[in-house]
A = this chain, B = another copy of it.
Amino acid sequence: MRIDVLFTPAEFESARLEGAAAVVIDVLRASTTIVEALAAGASAVVPVVGVEEARALAGPGTLVGGERGGLRCEGFDLGNSPGEYTAESVGGRRVVLCTSNGTRAIAAAAGAGASPVLVAGFVNLKAAVRAAGAAGRDVVAICAGCEGAFSLEDAACAGGVVAGLAYRQGPLATRSDAAVAAETLFRANREQLVRLLGHTAHGRRLVALGLGDDLAVCAELNRRAVVPRLAADPGGGRVLVPLSAPGEPER
């Protein structure tokens, strides 16, 4: 198994990923929100790139969530704070989610031919590693970044995926330079994830917007066992649903 990491949209938007499993990472906050929504019992999360596209998908039994510039879009039912996605708000319902960085990365991973496309944050790191390893393919961790730029929190989380896979695979795993670098960033920060998030460019912006409470949720390692997986939607398009892992609890 070869393990690679793509740190920025400039890299992943030109990548060819046929034959590889992709793990898409947008710690602040799309990954975390998607995991929380599915853990709370949402039937599916529909990742969309555009605000108008999201609005057009609203309907009975379907909620629309997401942000632009960190704040809930006008007319949306929910923003992009993971804490909003509870059993009461989203249980049994379909959620259309539109975010600035994460949903673009998911679309790019699918467009580049990766399969499966999984979603990981710190909150489901261990489960995501297990799922990515079980795919039996090369693994590429895709960092959503922040407005096109490198995001330290996504790179560190990608390093957690690398570390976990390398531990599970032992000598069968080979790591690209980017994977080795990401692992170094994870190991340097793993004991202080909340502090890390508070120091990143994206984290500081969320704090300035009054959304600092989200950081603690996004930094809570392995609080969930659900792994979102991109699947064909019977109604067309693609949706994120919990990966089925026989014999293991998903939530």
Categorize the interface residue count of chain A.
20 to 34
**Inter-subunit contact B201/A150 (CB<8 Å):** no
> With a CB–CB cut-off of 8 A, which chain B residues contact A149?
176-178
Cα of A223 to Cα of B11 in the assembled complex, Å? 34
Chain B positions within 8 Å of A153 at CB level: 177
Contact yes or no, B177 A181, CB < 8 A: no
What is the 8 Å Cβ interface bit string for chain A, positions 198-225, against chain B (1 contact, 0 not)?
Answer: 0111100000000000000000000000
Does A7 count as interface, using CB distance less than 8 angstroms? yes
Q: Considering only CB atoms, which chain B residue lies closest to A182 in the complex? A: B181
* Alpha-carbon distance between A222 and B194 when the two chains are bound, in angstroms: 37
The one of B5, B14, B152, B180 that contacts A177, using a Cβ cutoff of 8 Å:
B152
List B contacts of A152 (CB < 8 A).
177-178, 180-181
Chain B residue with the shortest CB-CB distance to A199: B180
This protein's copies in its complex: 2
Interface of A: prevailing SS = helix
Contact with B along A142-179 (1 / 0, CB 8 A): 00001001111101000000000000000000001110
At the interface, yes or no: A185 with Cβ under 8 Å from chain B? yes
Chain B nearest Cβ from A15, distance in angstroms: 9
Q: Are A185 and B177 in contact (CB under 8 A)?
A: no
Across-interface contacts of A5 in B (CB, < 8 A): 150
Q: What are 17 A-B pairs at a CB distance below 8 A?
A: A5-B150, A7-B7, A8-B8, A8-B11, A11-B11, A11-B150, A149-B177, A149-B178, A150-B181, A151-B177, A152-B178, A152-B181, A155-B177, A155-B181, A176-B201, A177-B200, A188-B188
8 closest A-B pairs (Cβ-Cβ)? A10-B10, A152-B177, A150-B178, A10-B11, A184-B188, A177-B201, A152-B181, A150-B177
